[in-house]
Amino acid sequence: MKIERIIVHEVQKEANRKDIKLVLSDQIIPLSPESTRLVETLSNSYNSDKITYGIFNLTSSSYFPSRFDQYRSVFPVNDKDFIDLTKDQITGIQSFMSVKNFAKGGYFLFTEYSINGASFYAIFLLRDTAGNTLKRVGSTFEVDSVEYLDTNHLAMAFRLNTQNYNKRNGNYISFTNRKQPDVSEYFTDWVCAIKLESSTGFTEKLYEIINEIPLPKNPETGLYYTIDEVRNMVYDHARSNGEKNINIKSLSDHIYGDENAIQAYATDNDIEIDTEFRFDRNALKKFIQLAIDVDGIKLKFSRGDFGNKVRVAEGDPNMVIIESKEFAKKLRNELDKNGYS
């Protein structure tokens, strides 16, 4: 990770009160081992959370993205440009917080950094860190060298992929999904976010596509893969990515030999899926099979079929129900052939 700039502004507001006080910083936080590792820790916390994706509402009244565009139009930008940008944006949050009774303030850490060639503009909202992680020193903050790893009070995080935003490629903004109405209701309004979609939603849409798209051929045998083989390929490809992301083009090329196959099918069938997204681990498990061999019974099925074709009977945990027209037909045929009818 390469960090360019960090600054913290404090928003003071109590729940059930409308009065808001801004404590703005006039200087960026010096880059040091402590401040660098703080951002790294916050980024890791962000990466481990559930993510909601979206885009900016780019109307003339959308101040947050308009101000960011103004900032990016100057090249090269300097520290003062960054300070002015963050001060202007955080000032705009007041009108959104004042109408939310349960909204509370906190420490808003703005930062620019890059990872593996991708550049980001991120905002992390921390709470309950006074005299702990962050300490006010003059017109800025400093990071406590002892307590900086205490990031359990991360209430919300926003991240803009600046390269994807410049290209208007996919859902270029994302949030942590911490299910805190006091934050999410004003936070997304403040940054002018629309078309919000969760990582769970995208993973489930991918499962829907994989189940419906024509099966590819195995280039070695010339035979078509089975649907379970394709599901396993998706699962293995996703899990092999250390960043827990699914890149649709890479996945499509890996399975179908055509990087546009999945996206083309989604477009043709009015399925909105991002070109790259963080997969949801539980939703991804639908792609792999469950295999059970016990008590003289062998049963193998996709996790995606559990609760649908295969389920545990309500009220009797020892009864398993298989509901499949084709399975029942096959079973009757086998019984007839073996004289069990």
Q: Would you give per-residue pLDDT tens digits along the chain (341 residues)? A: 899 999 999 998 887 787 889 999 999 998 988 888 888 888 888 877 778 888 999 887 889 999 999 999 988 899 999 999 999 999 999 888 888 777 888 889 999 999 888 899 999 988 765 445 666 777 777 666 444 434 556 778 899 999 989 988 888 998 886 555 555 778 888 999 988 888 888 899 999 999 999 999 998 999 999 998 999 999 999 988 766 789 899 999 999 999 999 989 998 888 888 888 888 888 888 888 777 889 999 888 877 788 889 999 998 989 999 999 999 999 899 888 888 76
Question: To which residue do tokens 């590819």 refer?
Answer: 216
- The Cα–Cα gap between 268 and 27 comes to 50
pLDDT of residue 150: 44
pLDDT of residue 146: 40
Going by C-alpha positions, the residue among 81, 97, 104, 99 that lies closest to residue 5 is 81
- The Cα–Cα gap between 341 and 281 comes to 44
pLDDT of residue 180: 59
CB atoms inside a 10 Å sphere around CB 115: 13
Going by C-alpha positions, the residue among 303, 199, 209 that lies closest to residue 251 is 209
Please tell me the number of Cα atoms within 13 Å of 149 on its side-chain side.
Answer: 2
Q: How far apart are the first and last CA of the chain?
A: 68
Q: Which long-range contacts (CB under 8 A, 24 or more apart) does 248-254 make?
A: 248/206, 248/273, 248/274, 248/275, 248/276, 249/275
- β-bridge partners, 264: none
User: For residues 250 and 259, is the Cβ–Cβ distance under 8 A?
Assistant: yes
